[in-house]
């Protein structure tokens, strides 16, 4: 089943985000290689694809996991959680309708 993971950045966490990004992206690439990643990306803090020092407010991931518990465990082990980039990560079942 698909799950949506919505991470919310801690204020002032841009430096932590950039430091943890390579490991975070590697985990996403592993999901992609397994054919389980639907989409992933950050939410800029300003209306710009490159927010610069304004940073990000969080990230959204939609991916396939065997269960909600597996999706929650994957999220809990993500470097954005373990290094304090995210203050919270919500994980919910997701049903893709379009496209």
Separation of alpha carbons 56 and 74, rounded Å: 21
Mean pLDDT of 15-29: 98
Query: What residue spans of the chain are helical by DSSP H?
Result: 14-33, 68-76, 79-82
Residue-averaged pLDDT of the chain: 97
**Which residues, 6 or more positions from 55, have their beta carbon under 8 angstroms from its beta carbon?**
9, 13, 14, 17, 44, 45
Where residue 1 falls among pLDDT bands split at 50, 70, 90? very high
Asked if 79 contacts 20 with a C-beta cutoff of 8 angstroms, the reply is yes
């Amino acid at each position: 089943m698909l799950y949506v993971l919505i991470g919310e950045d801690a204020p002032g966490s841009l430096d932590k985000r950039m430091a943890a990004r390579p490991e975070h992206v590697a985990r996403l690439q592993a999901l992609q290689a397994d054919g389980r990643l639907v989409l992933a990306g950050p939410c800029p803090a300003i209306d710009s694809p490159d927010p610069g020092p304004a940073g990000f407010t969080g990230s959204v991931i939609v991916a396939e996991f065997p269960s909600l518990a597996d999706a929650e465990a994957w999220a809990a082990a993500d470097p954005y959680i373990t290094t304090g980039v995210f203050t919270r990560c919500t994980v919910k079942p997701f049903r893709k309708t379009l496209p």
